[in-house]
Structure 1
Amino acid sequence: MKLTVFGASGGVGREVVRQALDADHEVTAVVRDPARLRVPAHPRLLVATVGDLSDAEALVPVLAGRDAVLSALGAGTNKKAKAAPVTGPATHAMLTAMGRVGVRRLSVVSAAPVGPDVPEDGAFTRAVVLPLLRRALRDLYADLAVMEEAIAASDVDWTVIRPPRLLNRPRTGRYRRVFGGNVPGGRSIGRGDVADALLAGLADPAYARCAVGIAT
């Protein structure tokens, strides 16, 4: 497949690029600073610099002729307090550009706290831990919620991957999935496995138009 990867210089994004190349896909890695990509040159890798991800016109050239779009912008973007939203505006631009060039498949990273609470996690987690987390990172989660709303209202074939805390661990392929919800007791997952889930969603019909909770 021919893929465009947004957030390619982040921890999850780099894993997506590496795994996609290993799987013989052609990859366009969209970055602001090519020096941060830190992925070896490859004959099937094109690095595209885009300064303003909220500009749909700027995204059209990197999406034209692609089979699918993957976004790792939600995997740790804008964790600083009161940071300007990035993921929501970028997603609106992606969807507009995808419509113009006829790309139908989209797989993105969100976060577990944006999804529903899990009754099995217990009253303390649901009444204390999660509200504190959502308050501390409210700007990030509000941005991700805008992203999810835009995607759900679109006519593309989308997948939203919702991981809990991200760890710098390679792909194992051994993690739990909950379609339409979050993983009970899910506390963390390696960035390599988040990338694996993003790519798996492109080929598996079960992931189509679905939010998927993942965790080890």
Structure 2
Amino acid sequence: MRLTIFGATGKTGLHLVEQAVGRGDTVTAVVRDPGRFGLRHAGLTVVRVGDPDRDADEVGKAMDGADAVLSAVGPRGRNVGPVAAPVTRALLRGLDRVPSRRIVVISAAPVGPTPDGDSLLSRAVLRPVISAVLRPVYDDLRAMEEALAASGAAWTSVRPPQLTDGPLRGGYRTTVGGVVPRGYRVSRADLAHAMLACLDRPETIGQPVGVAD
């Protein structure tokens, strides 16, 4: 496939690029600073876009002719302000350059409802506390998902719980349309693998997809 990957210098974004080129995809990696991007591969093109919201032409050029777009752009912290929603809206404005209008983005498990079968500790303590402490982050991600749902794009939002720097194992669980019950963590490598796998799963189009160990 021809893929355009935004947020390619982030921890998950690097895994996305590495795994995509490793499986034979042709990848355009969109970054703010190419000097920070050390990956080199015959099937990889690195493109600089400083601000997707302002550099609309560059965003469109980076997407032009792609089979799908993946975004590893997400909130940088509770005090930074919205990031995921404005960037995703900018990508949606350029998605006409992608014939399939296919886009896969990272969200988070607390954006969705508490899944049936979750533990009492998770329902009564963990999720309410985390959601309260990180409310600005999840508000940003909810706004992002609302923009996707209203866009007419062939979208998927992947909702992981706590992310770790563990290796790619491939033994993770997914839940289409919800959150994985009793799923408390997943590695960034497995998250990237799940995002790429969604490209071959038509049932994930127009759906959130929970992923967890």
Structure 1: gaps spanning 5 or more residues? none
Check the 8 A contact 2:117/2:182 in 1, yes or no: yes
The separation in 1 between residues aligned to 2:142 and 2:60, in whole angstroms, is 24
- 1:104-130 alpha-carbon deviations (Å, 9 max, x no partner): 111111000011112322343223221
Residue in structure 2 matching 1:154, options 151, 156, 159: 151
Give the structure 1 partner of residue 48 of structure 2: 49
The separation in 2 between residues aligned to 1:133 and 1:101, in whole angstroms, is 36
How many percent of aligned residue pairs carry the same amino acid? Answer: 45
Give the structure 1 partner of residue 93 of structure 2: 96
Scaled by the length of structure 1, the TM-score of the pair is: 0.93
Give the structure 1 partner of residue 17 of structure 2: 17
Scaled by the length of structure 2, the TM-score of the pair is: 0.94
SS at match of 1:178: strand
Residue in structure 2 matching 1:118, options 115, 139, 143: 115
SS at match of 1:54: coil
SS at match of 1:70: strand
- 1:36-65 alpha-carbon deviations (Å, 9 max, x no partner): 3332x1111111111112233331110111
Aligned CA RMSD, in angstroms, stands at: 1.4
Check the 8 A contact 2:21/2:43 in 1, yes or no: yes
Give the structure 2 partner of residue 35 of structure 1: 35
SS at match of 1:119: coil
Check the 8 A contact 1:166/1:189 in 2, yes or no: yes
Query: Matched residue pairs, number?
Result: 212
Give the structure 1 partner of residue 193 of structure 2: 196
Check the 8 A contact 2:178/2:209 in 1, yes or no: yes
The separation in 1 between residues aligned to 2:147 and 2:177, in whole angstroms, is 17
Structure 2: gaps spanning 5 or more residues? none
The separation in 2 between residues aligned to 1:94 and 1:104, in whole angstroms, is 10
The separation in 1 between residues aligned to 2:149 and 2:105, in whole angstroms, is 12
Give the structure 2 partner of residue 70 of structure 1: 70
The separation in 1 between residues aligned to 2:119 and 2:210, in whole angstroms, is 18
- Of residues 147-156 and 114-123 in structure 1, the stretch that sits farther from structure 2 once superposed is 114-123
The separation in 2 between residues aligned to 1:193 and 1:19, in whole angstroms, is 10
Check the 8 A contact 1:83/1:139 in 2, yes or no: no
The separation in 1 between residues aligned to 2:108 and 2:167, in whole angstroms, is 19
The separation in 1 between residues aligned to 2:114 and 2:2, in whole angstroms, is 36
The residue identity in structure 2 corresponding to 1:51 is G
Check the 8 A contact 1:9/1:38 in 2, yes or no: no
The separation in 2 between residues aligned to 1:171 and 1:49, in whole angstroms, is 28
**Displacement of 1:86 after TM fit?**
1.3
